Amino acid sequence: MTISFDTEPDRYKHWKFSVDGRVAYLHLDVAEEDGLDGDYRLKLNSYDLGVDIELADALQRIRFEHPEVGAVVLGSAKDRVFCSGANIYMLGASTHAFKVNFCKFTNETRLSIEDASEHSGLKFICAVNGPCAGGGYELALAADEIILVDDGSSAVSLPEVPLLGVLPGTGGLTRLVDKRKVRRDRADFFSTVAEGVRGKRALEWGLVDAVYPRSKFDQAVQARAAELAEQSDRPAAESGIKLTPLAPKIDGELREYNNVRVELDRGGRVAHITLSAPGAAMPRSIAEIVAAGDQFWPLAVFRELDDALLDLRFNEAEIGTLVLHTKGDAKAVLAADAVLAEHRQHWFVREVLLFIKRTLKRLDLTARSLVALIEPGSCFAGTFFELALAADRTFMLDDPDNPVAIELSMQNAGSYPMSNGLSRLKTRFLGEPELVEQALATQGPLDPQAAMDAGLVTFIPDELDWEDEVRLAIEERVALSPDALTGMEASLRFAGPETLETKIFGRLSAWQNWIFQRPNAVGEKGALTLYGQAGMRPEFDWRRT
């Protein structure tokens, strides 16, 4: 089954999306029979990837199409149930790769909520009107505030360890102690008691921010949302831009967008991704930029790249190496950077910059080897040079007869921080911070030797060695163990400080990846395998590792 990430509110099956003044409401109303795969039912507002694809789309639309919104309420349209988390039967029947990628996508979506809260002037309230378990509570944890109905039965819980033999897959453990700063002993108890914690204890332990009886619940949620919305710097009187379908042309091993081209070599387990510079002059005034809407080149090219990365992640599991190319006029890319820098305080340009940042993070977190090739016709400049900085290795052709160059802009100075909170330049030169300022102070383009001397590329083969050196590097890469490469790359890409984000992807994803393959979870008598089967109990291998 090919998974598509293209959707819009009129096609949502699982979310009710509405806007009332400065507040947006996203109510979970999962259609039980409309799972991504028809072999399971999405009972009790449980979710699968299809539910989360809609959520991710709705969040993007709030940011771009509704600048008047300052607060978002995440709630449930079902009476007395919020969300029972990721659908267990879906997880139990899924391949290992799908489980891991599903968790990664839901993590990225929840992190986008926190990104919007920190940088976009959007605040999120999770209105928990009934039982809230597992991934449902992890969604709540991504919000700024959690309001729980106090009715004697509604509880928040993370039952994965006691019931399924796995971990909460969407950052729940990390957010408990790092974000909400719940005491470790309380978090330990909470994470091993399947029924969870209710009412006043949930409030006392910091698991929620407020509790209200059912008679006052809706009113309290609306009042708090209105209060938070009024604190937002988003423009109440401006109109947003419409996000239109991307509609790539797909022909065999070619996937082509307006600005991005993906060529698959399935036999070689390689994908070549080419991003094109703008072909026309950039709009300069805010009125022209907003009028361009989703065709504003920086937004358009990175929306296409984002879609391509998700397609590769979920639909091309055996593609192990992504080779990154650019083409076009480097001056046009730098001109786009200048426009972004000039208008970065405007709400729309701010959202474009934040979207580019999130897409580049998606590239960083994609479990694929990344190779950048700087060749004649390339335009690795400014924002596009972030692609080369994201790569595990960068090759730059050194041929006087076919000169190539790279060039930095101030967009490389920190506009697109990685999950570790640092720019890619600072992460690259963690032990030589002086080289960051030297690189940013460089005026004009750098030829291969200058780029090499500045530490900005890995190798600069000449025209005689280029083809063989690049070919051998790629062939050798794809011949290595994909498991070992995934672990190695994830360990090397995020040098520097640890953040909530790197803990989620570095610790949680690594542990969950391991647990999802262990017989205690997914073996014939594993907890995840036997869940829901009457009279069946898991049998564990009790040896600790």
Give the mean pLDDT of 84-88. Answer: 95
Q: What is the pLDDT of residue 21?
A: 96
Q: What is the pLDDT of residue 540?
A: 93
Give the mean pLDDT of 531-543. Answer: 89
Residue 519: is its pLDDT beyond 80?
Answer: yes
Residue 509: is its pLDDT beyond 80?
Answer: no
Residue 38: is its pLDDT beyond 80?
Answer: no
Distance CA 509, CA 364 (A): 14
Q: What is the pLDDT of residue 507?
A: 80
Q: Give the model confidence (pLDDT) of 222-280 as tens digits.
A: 999 999 999 999 999 999 999 999 999 999 999 999 999 999 999 999 999 999 999 99
Q: Do 299 and 246 meet the contact criterion of CB atoms below 8 Å apart?
A: no
The model's confidence at residue 514, banded by pLDDT at 50, 70 and 90, is: confident
Q: Give the model confidence (pLDDT) of 375-387 as tens digits.
A: 999 999 999 999 9
CB atoms within 10 A of CB 495: 15
Average pLDDT of every residue of the chain: 96
| Domain-wise residue ranges, the chain | 10-214, 249-488
Classify 10-214 by CATH class: alpha beta
Q: What is the pLDDT of residue 176?
A: 97
Residue 112: is its pLDDT beyond 90?
Answer: yes
Q: What is the pLDDT of residue 418?
A: 97
Per-residue tokens: 35: 């799972």
Residue 1: is its pLDDT beyond 90?
Answer: no
The domain 249-488 belongs to what CATH superfamily?
2-enoyl-CoA Hydratase; Chain A, domain 1 (3.90.226.10)
Residue 545: is its pLDDT beyond 90?
Answer: no
- The closest alpha carbon to 394, from 412, 378, 410, belongs to 378
Q: What do you get for the CA distance between the two ends of the chain, in Å?
A: 37
Q: What is the pLDDT of residue 535?
A: 85
Q: What is the pLDDT of residue 40?
A: 92
Residues 6 or more apart in contact with residue 229 via CB below 8 angstroms: 21, 22, 23, 69, 70, 71, 123
Query: What's the one-letter identity of residue 396?
Result: M
Cα angle value 262/265/268 (rounded, 5°): 145
Q: What is the pLDDT of residue 39?
A: 84
- The closest alpha carbon to 222, from 147, 138, 152, 151, belongs to 147
For 320, 334, 405, 460, the CA distances from 450, given in Å and listed in that order, are 31, 19, 9, 10
> Which residues are 334's β-sheet partners?
none
Per-residue tokens: 150: 């106090």
Q: Give the model confidence (pLDDT) of 294-337 as tens digits.
A: 999 999 999 999 999 999 999 999 999 999 999 999 999 999 99
The model's confidence at residue 511, banded by pLDDT at 50, 70 and 90, is: confident
Would you say the CATH fold of 249-488 matches that of 10-214? Answer: yes
Residue 108: is its pLDDT beyond 90?
Answer: yes
Residues across the chain: 545
Q: Do 460 and 449 meet the contact criterion of CB atoms below 8 Å apart?
A: yes
Give the mean pLDDT of 399-416. Answer: 97
Residues of the chain with pLDDT > 90, as a percent, come to: 91
Give the mean pLDDT of 186-196. Answer: 97
Per-residue tokens: 8: 């819009």
What is the DSSP track for 158-193? --IIIIISS--TTSHHHIIIIIS---HHHHHHHTT-
